[in-house]
Amino acid sequence: MGRGHYAKTVPRMEIARYLTLAAPIRKLKRFRLCNQEVANGYVYFTDAAAVKRLNEMLRFHNTGERPVEYIQDKEGNIVRSDSTVNKDTKNIFEYQDCLESVKGPDGGGWYTSRCPVCEFKGAQVGQVWDDTHDHFRFKEEGVFTCHSGCEPWEVFTWLDAMLAGVEPNFDKKGAPTVNSSDDEFDQWMKKRGEKSE
């Protein structure tokens, strides 16, 4: 790994500092010390990929923005993991006791369960969604996906609501959802002096 002598323009960092900065993201293999160029007590960033890793690590440390990770889904497609996850975001693996029918891990490290968002949304309309209990997949690192298309923010909304003991609100703006009938709308229009069509 080590080459011995480097020009002064190559970015470097003491091993101890590198290990401290990389600790929260060490499960991403590209940040492990064994995958870095090390010599004389320093980690050297000698090429574009290494400098990119350094920038991602520093951005995560300074802003909490998790490095972009590409994962392989159940069908074998390479997809981008959700980059909105930050160091303060809950790891779904740590809350697997809240999920229904958890199975796994499989050979790729994926766990399978019933999607909590599918379950909740189905119950809202009087149906059973994800009755096979296999829509939701997650890994120990916190990466997850719903094969029915539930979005990551919906899963976090469900988790936060479940931990708070309230019903989740999937309105992105956070405003209360309003259910109204046509009669209520007609009455409102009448009060304004307008006719509805």
32-75 pLDDT tens trace: 888 899 999 999 999 888 998 898 888 877 766 677 666 666 67
Give CA–CA dist 183/189, Å, rounded. 10
pTM for the full model?
A: 0.46
> CA nearest 155: which of 118, 106, 185?
118
> CA nearest 83: which of 66, 98, 97?
66
Would you state the pLDDT for residue 26?
75
Give CA–CA dist 18/8, Å, rounded. 18
Helix (H) or strand (E) holding 50: helix 48-63
Give CA–CA dist 46/14, Å, rounded. 15
Beta strands in the chain (DSSP E): 12-14, 37-39, 42-44, 70-72, 78-80, 111-113, 136-138, 144-146
User: Using an 8 Å Cβ cutoff, are 73 and 112 in contact?
Assistant: no
Would you state the pLDDT for residue 175?
39
Mean pLDDT of the chain: 77
